[in-house]
Amino acid sequence: MPLKPDLPLPEPETRRVGYAIVGIGELSSSELIPAARTSEHAYVAALVTGDVEKGRAFATAHGLTDADVYPYGEFGKLAEREDVEAVYIVLPNRLHREYVERAARMGKQVLCEKPLGVNASDAQAMVDACREAGVLLMTAYRCQYTPAHWAARDAVQGGKLGPVKLVDSIHGQVEDDPEAWRLRRDLAGGGPLPDVGIYCLNTIRFVLGTEPEWAFATLYQPENDERFREVEESLSFMLGFPGGVIANALTSYGIHKTATLRVLGEAGTALMDPAFTYEGLKVTLTDKEGEFTPSFPDADQFGLELDHFAGCVRSGRRPWTPGEEGVQDHRIMDALYESARTGQVVRLEAVPGMDVFRGEKPEVPGQS
């Protein structure tokens, strides 16, 4: 499937949405751009990068031309590109806001990597800017678009597990590059929590559908490890949800790659292990009858994400994970850092209801 269609474009309502990818790091080059090939409704129309030479080689390889490659300094020129209807911001967290706001002002629809910003007020400003500009803003929570995560959520919401009492999640890996921007508080907004722990947080909220009422956290920042001068190595947190549901989570930049989620209900459990990887997601539903591991259609997570947002661009509907979904995670992460700093439980603003921060339910392959 071509990255850039070589045939006359179809009518507006059905033609693919052209994206500019802003930032060509590991994620863009290994996952996003290849994924665009699997998309039904999206294609990559332009690349924005700090390394034009690399960008051009990339462009050639993917059927784009040198003219489709922009240095960061010429980001504004995308305004002239009518075929670029959306931008996908894949930059260090600190830069999200600037580029989201500039894109919004150009009238581009905005898909932004997680975490949305570096804290709740930063993220809220992005939501406000997009609202004012009349463009959509989606937080790129790919896990909320996979058949595996929906199978776990459906087991919870459909009652298959009975009343849910507890949730447990772990996400961590070794970060051993002391120069990584992810280890700079200023650029990242925190350590493993906003980078990998956010998967635990966001997915716990997703499967329950409700919002936590309080938060507690403790963190560990070793004194003699240059990697962790600015941010925590590990963070453990606990969240209280309506109805007495309690969730525990662990995140770390100092553990062998681990990604799990377990929902514990009275009648059964749902285990995702691995829970957050790009491939090989596995769900095990256990109850008194036995263990069931559903199989899922083979679909690229990023392709699903790009397609959902492309569909929203066409329909004008609010994405399932809009900016507000990203802001809420920041509110909770702000509370977790506050709890870790003070040693106290932090109360969160009550948010009754289900899926309060979410928009249009996505189409998920294999789901009826």
The reply to whether 277 sits near a copy of itself by the rule CB under 8 A is no
The binder of a copy of itself chosen from 109, 146, 236, 328 (CB under 8 A): 236
The reply to whether 192 sits near a copy of itself by the rule CB under 8 A is no
Q: Which stretch binds a copy of itself (CB under 8 A): 16-24, 96-104, 129-137, 217-225?
A: 217-225
The reply to whether 258 sits near a copy of itself by the rule CB under 8 A is yes
Q: Which stretch binds a copy of itself (CB under 8 A): 84-92, 122-130, 267-275, 307-315?
A: 267-275
Residue 131: which H helix or E strand, with range? Answer: helix 120-133
The reply to whether 31 sits near a copy of itself by the rule CB under 8 A is no
Q: Which is nearer to a copy of itself, 138 or 364 (CB)?
A: 364
- Using CA atoms, how far apart are residues 42 and 226, in angstroms rounded to an integer? 42
The reply to whether 161 sits near a copy of itself by the rule CB under 8 A is yes
User: Phi-psi region for residue 146, left (φ > 0), alpha (ψ -120 to 50) or beta?
Assistant: beta
DSSP 183-207: G-HHHHSSSHIIIIIHHHHHHHHHH
Give Cα 136 to chain centroid, integer Å: 16
The binder of a copy of itself chosen from 25, 77, 218, 351 (CB under 8 A): 218
The catalytic residue positions are 114, 199
The reply to whether 60 sits near a copy of itself by the rule CB under 8 A is yes
The reply to whether 280 sits near a copy of itself by the rule CB under 8 A is yes
CA-wise closest residue to 328 among 120, 144, 111: 120
- Using CA atoms, how far apart are residues 103 and 208, in angstroms rounded to an integer? 33
DSSP state of 35: H
Strands 234-240 and 214-220: antiparallel
Give CA separation, 160 vs 164, 250, 285, 292, in Å. Answer: 10, 26, 9, 12
The reply to whether 255 sits near a copy of itself by the rule CB under 8 A is yes
Q: Which stretch binds a copy of itself (CB under 8 A): 8-16, 17-25, 52-60, 138-146?
A: 52-60
- Using CA atoms, how far apart are residues 56 and 245, in angstroms rounded to an integer? 51
Count of positions (residues) in the chain: 368
The reply to whether 1 sits near a copy of itself by the rule CB under 8 A is yes
Q: Which is nearer to a copy of itself, 60 or 121 (CB)?
A: 60
C-alpha Rg value of the chain to the nearest Å = 20
CA-wise closest residue to 266 among 243, 239, 249: 243
Half-sphere exposure of 365 (CA within 13 A, CB side): 15
Give Cα 45 to chain centroid, integer Å: 22
The reply to whether 158 sits near a copy of itself by the rule CB under 8 A is no
Q: Which stretch binds a copy of itself (CB under 8 A): 116-124, 233-241, 304-312, 325-333?
A: 233-241
Query: Residues 168, 146, 129, CA angle at the centre, nearest 5°?
Result: 90
Q: Which stretch binds a copy of itself (CB under 8 A): 57-65, 97-105, 129-137, 309-317?
A: 57-65
The reply to whether 190 sits near a copy of itself by the rule CB under 8 A is no
Q: Which is nearer to a copy of itself, 5 or 318 (CB)?
A: 5
CA-wise closest residue to 362 among 313, 316, 321, 324: 321
Q: x/- contact string, 95-134, with a copy of itself (CB under 8 A)?
A: ----------------------------------------
Which residue matches tokens 């003219």? 67
CB 282, min distance to a copy of itself, A = 10
Binding site for a copy of itself (CB under 8 A): 1-4, 6-7, 37, 56-57, 60-63, 161-163, 165-166, 168, 170, 172, 174, 216, 218, 220, 222, 233-234, 236, 238, 240, 244-246, 248-250, 252, 254-256, 258, 260, 262, 264-269, 279-280, 286-295, 343-345
